[in-house]
Amino acid sequence: MTSLETAPSKTGLRRIAIDPVTRVEGHGKVTILLDAENRVHQVRLHIVEFRGFEAFVEGRPYWEVPVMVQRLCGICPVSHHLAAVKAMDRIAGYGALTPTAEKLRRLMHYGQIAQSHAVHFFHLASPDLLLGFDCEATRRNIVGVVAAAPDIALKGVKLRKFGQEVIRHTAGKRIHGTGAIPGGVNKALTPEERDELRRDLDEHVGWAVEAVALIRRLAGAAPDFYAGFGSAPSHTMSLVAPDGAMDLYDGGLRARDLNGAILFDHVDPAAYHERIVEIVKPWSYMKFPHIAALGAEDGWYKVGPLARLQTVDRMPSPLAEAERQVFLAAGGGRPIAGALMTHWARLIELLHALEVIRDLLDDPEITGTDLMAERGARAGEAVGIIEAPRGTLIHHYRVGDDDLVSWCNLIVSTTHNNQAMNEAIRAVARDHLDGRVVTEPLLNHVEVAIRAYDPCLSCATHALGRMPLIVDLVDADGVTISRAVRNADP
């Protein structure tokens, strides 16, 4: 943790706020404290929205939860849908899914990965990377990309649309579907739907290969900048398959340390709380998880594409694995921590997702009709973990004999990355703002570091009870009349 989290004294410091942070999902802001010489003394990413979904879920019937929790997010609802239903499989007493049901859930999930990664890179991140961090702010958006590089923009839109179609055919609709239910799925994939999805898939795989080549060229043209921008060396964590391969739907938890050595491996998802603990800080609604054995100071870690590519032993899809080897070689044998390198990793995962979708659609069992597992003894408590587009997503529930949820804990991908995002923007402030006249393009550097993590801020603010709260009463002229503060800096 760096000294830039909290200034030793705020006397004589002025405050700059980036409010709101743009081109991310949800609402957040960055505050920077500077002295008279523009020296940086404090940098914080604040999550300013509050939603409390964990409390909303309590008291609801368990079978409502996989549909209800999707309202956390409009970009990755499938991830919440599947993490919740994996927990409810156990709550309802279902054993192993039928082969067709598991493959349909995987197809749904990899469609989600493809559409979310395409949205992030082409719509949100590419304006910075293709047009430049200091491009005029009014052009630095997807419309600007369409004008400057229409072919790239169009392929990005079509890749996202394809992912949405995969979701529609498996979940029932593109956003907030209902396809997965405790014990299986409620909708088979017809041969006609399979053929529709399969028709242009090879072309989409080719576009993903082109996208990886694009980011590889960008990084290759400025290797030191890509490696060092917003660098926040940390531990990493993700699910891995029993053989150590990448598996974004299921597996055990693995964490590596700063040097790439394994901290723990193949941890049963139900035992996540023995490895990870969360703390709150008085200036953010988002919690700060860390590896329990290492403590809050040294135990923070990353999840998501940059972490996953370095946590797993291999990717089980040939084109993506070949690109992963090129990516790892760029690090020269050392763990890669630069924020911009996350975009490279994300596009390799986009390619991986499309390869997996192709394999699933070519599997004859994908159009089977045996959709529900056998039911056995119920459980009162269960955990569902999945690798969402932004990283590891944990859903943990307790359900009473009355079928109502009595307790819920969600640790979403952006929450895992909370400390890493704060460290990344402090690195950018130290390297690019400290001692310089602050301009809009320089402040955009800070936002670029946050965007690299593709944060979903509305997903990440849930808990009630000990979270900081400030309530201001202002008059018609905007003057604060009174302020109430609980567990927060006034």
The answer on whether 73 is annotated among ligand-binding residues is yes
With a CB cutoff of 8 Å and minimum separation 6, the contacts of 62 are 88, 91, 92, 182, 397, 399, 403, 404, 405
Spatial separation of the C-alpha atoms in residues 229 and 221, rounded to whole Å: 14
How far apart CA 44 and CA 217 sit, in angstroms, is 32
CB-based contacts of 207: which residues, under 8 Å, 6+ apart? 155, 158, 159
CA 426 to chain centre: 20
Peptide bond into 20 cis (omega under 30): yes
- Domain-embedded: residue 26: no
Residue 52 to residue 69: CA distance in whole angstroms: 11
CATH classification of the domain holding 301: 1.10.645.10
| Residue 398 belongs to a domain | yes
In a domain, 243, yes or no: yes
pLDDT of residue 386: 97
Helix extents (H) in 60-120 = 65-68, 77-91, 99-118
To the question of whether residue 410 is assigned a binding role by annotation, the answer is yes
| Residue 456 marked as a ligand binder | yes
477 found inside a domain: no
Q: Which domain holds residue 291?
A: 53-424
**Residue 17: predicted pLDDT:** 93
What would the two tokens of residue 98 be?
């039928």
Contact 275, 267 (CB under 8 A): yes
Please give the backbone phi and psi of residue 190, each rounded to the nearest 5 degrees, phi first: -75, 155
Identify the segments of the chain with pLDDT beneath 70.
1-2, 51, 460-471, 486-490
Q: Give the span between the Cα atoms of 347 and 3, in whole angstroms.
A: 34
pLDDT for position 464:
47
**How far apart, in whole angstroms, are the C-alpha atoms of residue 126 and residue 120?**
8
**Residue 213 belongs to some domain of the structure:** yes
- Helix, strand or coil for residue 208? helix
408 is in an annotated binding site: no
- Specify the pLDDT at position 474: 76
Strands (E), 271-310: 276-279, 288-291, 301-302
**Is 54 annotated to bind ligand?**
yes
The tokens for 62 are: 């368990």
Q: In the numeric block, which tokens belong to residue 18?
A: 């980036």
Whether 194 is in a domain gets the answer yes
Q: Domain for residue 287, yes or no?
A: yes
- Does the annotation place 124 within a ligand binding site? no
Nearest to 80 by CA among 50, 109, 47: 109
Q: Is 76 annotated as a binding residue?
A: yes
Q: Is residue 449 part of a domain?
A: no
The number of domains in the chain is 1
Tokens of 88: 């409810």
pLDDT of residue 1: 45
